[in-house]
Amino acid sequence: AMAAKATEPEPFDDDEDLEPLEGSLKNLLEQKSLKWIFVGGKGGVGKTTTSCSLAVALAKVRKSVLIISTDPAHNLSDAFKQKIGKTSTKLNGFDNLYAMEIDPKLDIDVSGMDLSLGENKVSTDMLSSIPGIDEAMSFAELMKQVQQMDYEVIVFDTAPTGHTLRLLTFPKVLQQTFGKINDLKQKLGGLLTQFAGLLQQSGTTPDQLFDKIESAKKTIDVVNRQFQDPDATTFVCVAIPEFLSLFETERLVQALAKHEIDTHNIVVNQIHFLDKDCADCKKCQARWKMQKKYLDQIDELYEDFHVAKCPLLENEVRGKTGLEQFGKLLTTPRPE
């Protein structure tokens, strides 16, 4: 009887009439529990436009919104047409929307965090030989800053795909690294006490050093829990209807699944929908035919995603008005 039960199909397994999910990002405006929204994809697909427009739309429904760019090509300043720095800057024309641009190398000065032990190179070298420790500390520092800032929702405009995943998977990697540091501490206990004399001159004891690392680890653990909580964190993949971008999106979706980070929204930009102007244009028609092929694949691959399809526009999206208009496009389903 058990076996028969197991092979019985799910009641609506094959139900062709299931409503497809609404093709817009409106769900992100409605999910009030969200605290972190990452926006990422291959270079040149409209990530910054998407993340800025989403932030503008969110600012209408949430108490306070911060948009952070980790892309070295700092495009936020261009999108909002105002200078944005390393600290949170209020955006002109908004009461509750702020932006900051940070370096993906996360080079918040690590020595400023008293990791450098004065004259004593030995311990500094020992510590810095742990792979990624400086990045780790800076990431912890960045996250600490961000958490203290008390914005209701934070949008990350991430650097092209590779970096993003490093940033998001950082907490996991760090947990391993910090584990190693603790082993090291146990193994080198005696040795560290011998260093203590040297360290004394620089006013930092080995224990203080490990406390620093411990406190960074705590921040990282908190962040890791938040990143893996679908109520708090989600990732929006941005693509264009072309092979490479589709390929990259699939890689991204797989990687996010592997690290247990929620993603259920895809934005497809620069779609060459045909209108009456295109009737006699061979180029438009050819382009649409090619894009349509990829759009169909996207619909098929991502039926459990909200896929927002945005038309190729006649001008660049910049400044408050442009971003508001694009925000509307993103959050209103396109009439079929």
φ/ψ region of 92 (left if φ > 0, alpha if ψ in -120 to 50, else beta) reads: beta
Single-letter amino acid, residue 212: K
Number of other residues whose CB lies within 10 A of the CB of residue 228: 16
What is the DSSP pairing of strand 233-239 with strand 36-40? parallel
φ/ψ region of 118 (left if φ > 0, alpha if ψ in -120 to 50, else beta) reads: left
Residue 70 tokens, joined: 């980790």
Main-chain dihedrals φ then ψ at residue 239, nearest 5 degrees: -145, 170
- Residues 6 or more apart whose CB falls under 8 angstroms from that of 4 comprise none
C-alpha distances in Å from residue 155, one per residue of 121, 192, 200, 236:
39, 42, 43, 10
Number of other residues whose CB lies within 10 A of the CB of residue 233: 23
Nearest to 330 by CA among 76, 54, 47: 54
Main-chain dihedrals φ then ψ at residue 329, nearest 5 degrees: -55, -40
- What is the C-alpha R_g of the chain? 24
What is the DSSP pairing of strand 89-90 with strand 233-239? unpaired
Q: Is 321 helix (H, G, I), strand (E, B) or coil?
A: helix
Cite the active site residues: 71
Main-chain dihedrals φ then ψ at residue 144, nearest 5 degrees: -60, -50
Give yes or no for a contact between 249 and 41, defined as CB atoms under 8 angstroms apart.
yes
